[in-house]
Amino acid sequence: MAFALAVALHTLAVVVDGYAIYFNSTKVKVPSTITFEFAGSLKYLTVWHMILQAVYFTVCLINDAAGDHSPNPPNPPLIRRIKDYMFAAFAFPIAMFVGVTFWSIMAIDRELVLPKKLDAYFPFWLNHIMHTNIVIFILLEMFLSCRKYPTKKKGLAGLTIFMATYLSWTFVIYYNTNLWVYPVMNVMDWPSRIFFLLAMLAFCLILYLVGDFINNKRWGHNYSKLSPKNSVKNSNGKSTKKIN
């Protein structure tokens, strides 16, 4: 039953995310008098993550059909290893980051993230797919589909590289347009901008650890290793389970 629900979620997510990407890239036309044209919608982390999430759930479907979906396979196929790493390092922390930061700033002052003048061009339903559904989908995925997290070193390294790449991209955009992607950065001085970007990176890394914690609570019992305190060495020097 859980596997069937997971497959249904993966299919729905691919369809919904795919359509949102298509609609945003072909139907949403914001005049240059309202926003600058450089890089198009690819200047936004939200769009980067929409593409990432669509790719992730496509990988999930491939794994559902031809990979392995058992809790702790002894020798997982490549597609399963890709799926597990993508969720841990990218899909979960970035979905949560986009959703939490967007709606938090939106609650304070929407003009800092989504000015009201964009409502005529950016549909209400598309906004929720890009900033609300991504969180719902990834939380459902956390509890319906099992995975084994990579080591923290590997996971945090991948996430740091991804976020550093995007943050560097925002500076490229500023260099070419003299404008910041997000209006909130226009009201800051340089020290505040640097602190803001570093704080956002730190928050994203914390979300990785949150995902690791939740995943361990949900699935950890399937792949917990024998701890030293629960084992003793036999005469051959090999560890065996301690019988209480």
| DSSP-based three-state secondary structure for 233 | strand
pLDDT cut 70: percent of the chain above it = 91
Q: How confident is the model at residue 58 (pLDDT cuts 50, 70, 90)?
A: very high
Query: What is the structure's pLDDT at 244?
Result: 36
Q: What is the mean pLDDT of residues 214-242?
A: 60
Q: Are 57 and 17 in contact (CB under 8 A)?
A: yes
Percent of the chain having pLDDT more than 90? 75
Handedness of CA 218, 222, 227, 230 (dihedral sign): positive
pLDDT at 239 over 80: no
| pTM attached to this predicted model | 0.89
Read off the amino acid at residue 196: F
